[in-house]
Amino acid sequence: MALSVPAQQRSLSVLKLQEQIPSIDKIFAGENIVPKDIGLRYALVSALVSHCEQSKHYDRLLQYSFELPKEFAVLLAQLLVSKNVTMTTAAQPLVNGERSFRTCF
C-alpha cells in the first residue's frame, strides 16, 4: 500500500525530528539541553516521559522542567500524571539559589 503525499511528508518530518532530538540519557544525567524548535520540544518531552523509570528519573524531570518554557513544563507534568505517576514533591531552595526536590512516597 502506497502512502499519500501528505502522509509521506509527515513521516519525513518525524524522521528529521528524530535525528535532531537531544540525547535523553544526557538529560537524565543532568545536562539541561532545551531545543529551540517547538516540534523538537514536544518530541523531547514525550520521549522523556516515555523513558522515565519510576523513582530513578522523577526528580530529574522536575528539575529539568524549570529549564523549559512554562507550557512545556506543564505538558511534562500532565504526561507524567497521565502515565499514572504518584508522587508529591517539595521544592527546597539551596544556599546557592538552585532548586532541589525531595520526593515523598
Q: Give residue-wise pLDDT tens across range 40-77.
A: 999 999 999 988 876 678 889 989 999 999 999 999 99
- Within a domain: 1: no
3 Cβ neighbours under 8 A, 6+ residues apart: 11
C-alpha cell at 5: 503525499
In a domain, 19, yes or no: yes
Q: Helix, strand, coil shares of the chain as percentages rounded to 5?
A: 55, 10, 30
The residue range of the domain holding 55 is 7-104
Q: What is the pLDDT of residue 99?
A: 54
For residue 98, what pLDDT is reported? 54
Residue 27, burial from CB neighbour count under 10 angstroms (0-12, 13-18, 19+): buried
Decide if 16 is inside a domain. Answer: yes
Judge whether 41 lies within some domain: yes
**Overall average pLDDT of the 27-46 stretch:** 93
88 located within any domain? yes
pLDDT band at residue 103, thresholds of 50, 70 and 90? Answer: very low
Q: 10 Å Cβ neighbour count for 14?
A: 11
Buried b (16+ CB within 10 A) or exposed e, 54-90: eeebbebbbbbbeebeeebbebbbebbeeeeeeeeee
2 lies in some domain: no
HSE-CB at 33 with a 13 A cutoff on CA atoms is: 16
Contact 22, 64 (CB under 8 A): no
State the total domains in the chain.
1
Which pLDDT score, from 0 to 100, does residue 15 have? 74
Residue 78 included in any domain: yes
